[in-house]
Amino acid sequence: MTSKTLTHLQRLEAESIHILREVAAEAENPVMLYSVGKDSAVMLHLAKKAFYPSPPPFPLMHVDTTWKFQDMYKLRDKAARDAGMELIVYQNPEAREKGINPFDHGSLHTDMWKTEGLKQALDKHGFDAAFGGARRDEEKSRAKERVFSFRTASHRWDPKNQRPELWRLYNARKAKGESMRVFPISNWTELDIWQYIHLEGIEIVPLYMAEERPTVERDGMLLMVDDDRFPLKEGETPVMRSIRFRTLGCYPLTGAVESTAKTLPEVIQETLLTTTSERQGRAIDHDQAASMEKKKQEGYF
């Protein structure tokens, strides 16, 4: 064998590894934000590859809302252990104190636990670079996000003031107090992610695969009753349905789809044949048009 053509997944993988290494080499105190979802799983897997045989030279951090699915917590702890990385779990103490939850507080839940929580966690540990698993194909405003995205000292994103990114050259210089979010899987699509998980045998939360689970239907969304904090309304009784999730977040905010796809290839099959986009399952995107962009300017990932 003297020659070889790289496939699209191999090119994407090499690009992501290059980005991960650039940050490890240039940032003073990087961290990988880990949400336990499939994108995070791929990002973590790429980090293991990028630095092998060393463990990734930065910690994993989960900005927790206390409202994730139980299965997510289980995999989170295991994944960090397997990668040989330190796991930092951060919960916004103010949100905890006030008992902020998705049932009573609407969008305040995301603001306080996630947006504020993330800012607090980054400040507390003095991280100057945070990897995130966002992809450009997820949403319109993300399509224009840079791979290295700069935030002011107050964590704001200014879409008008982002640095041009040419070739494979990323400018990681910044003033004291400023930080950057880095998105190593910017150029991956949902299908790329699934194919890569399949090809590489990456462990993901079982909730992505269909199973009989207790559910209730609310506002057109199918919600899973993951624990006894779920306040059932009068006349509501959880119904067992065969469901799976296309994205994972806080369980009261994450809509399931009815499905019988129990294996990864079956999930990919459904994904390819499906007619609705991935983010439709997330309540926060329905707030208003261009809502993601608003949230991003405020500091939500």
Partner 1 sequence: MTTQDKDPIYKTDALIAEDIDAYLETHQHKTMLRFITCGSVDDGKSTLIGRLLYDSKMIFEDQLATLEADSKKSGTQGEGIDFALLVDGLAAEREQGITIDVAYRFFATEKRKFIVADTPGHEQYTRNMVTGASTADLAVILIDARKGVLTQTKRHSYLVNLLGIKNVVLAVNKMDLVDYSQEVFDQIVADYTEFAASIGIEAFVPIPISGYMGDNITAPSENTPWYKGTALLPHLETVEIESTKEPKSAPFRMPVQWVNRPNLDFRGFSGLIASGVIQPGDPVRVLPSGKTSKVAKIVTYEGDRAMAVAGEAVTLTLEDEIDCSRGQVIVAAQSPLEVADQFESTIIWMDEQEMVPGRAYWLKIGTQMVSATVQQPKYEVNVNTQEQLATKTLDLNAIGVANITTDREIPFAPYVENHDLGGFILVDKISNQTVAAGMINFALRRAQNIHWQATDIDRDAHAAMKNQKPAVVWLTGLSGSGKSTIGNIVERKLARMNRHTFLLDGDNVRHGLNKDLGFTEADRIENIRRVGEVAKLMTDAGLIVITAFISPFRSEREMVRQMMQPGEFVEVFVDTPLEVAEARDVKGLYAKARSGQLKNFTGIDSPYEAPDAPEIRVDTTEMTPEEAADAIIARLIP
Nearer to partner 1, 91 or 189 (CB): 189
Nearer to partner 1, 29 or 171 (CB): 171
Q: How far apart are CA 175 and CA 55, in angstroms?
A: 28
Backbone angles phi and psi of 173, in degrees to 5? -80, 140
The minimum distance between CB 293 and partner 1, in angstroms, equals 6
The minimum distance between CB 100 and partner 1, in angstroms, equals 27
The token duo for 236 is: 């509501």
Nearer to partner 1, 68 or 155 (CB): 155
Q: Give residues in contact with partner 1 (CB under 8 A).
A: 1-14, 17-18, 21-22, 24-25, 48-55, 136-137, 140-141, 143-144, 159, 163-169, 171, 173-175, 186-187, 189, 191-192, 195, 198-199, 265-266, 268-269, 272-277, 280, 289-290, 293
Nearer to partner 1, 21 or 105 (CB): 21
The minimum distance between CB 135 and partner 1, in angstroms, equals 9
The minimum distance between CB 210 and partner 1, in angstroms, equals 15
Nearer to partner 1, 199 or 240 (CB): 199
The minimum distance between CB 115 and partner 1, in angstroms, equals 18
Nearer to partner 1, 22 or 64 (CB): 22
The minimum distance between CB 191 and partner 1, in angstroms, equals 7
Closest C-alpha to 292, from 277, 273, 279? 279
Residue 33, CA distances (Å) to 9, 76, 90, 229, 255 in order: 23, 12, 11, 26, 23
Q: How far apart are CA 149 and CA 180, in angstroms?
A: 5
Nearer to partner 1, 175 or 237 (CB): 175
The minimum distance between CB 268 and partner 1, in angstroms, equals 6
Considering Cα of 46, then 48, then 53, then 54, what sign does the dihedral take? Answer: positive
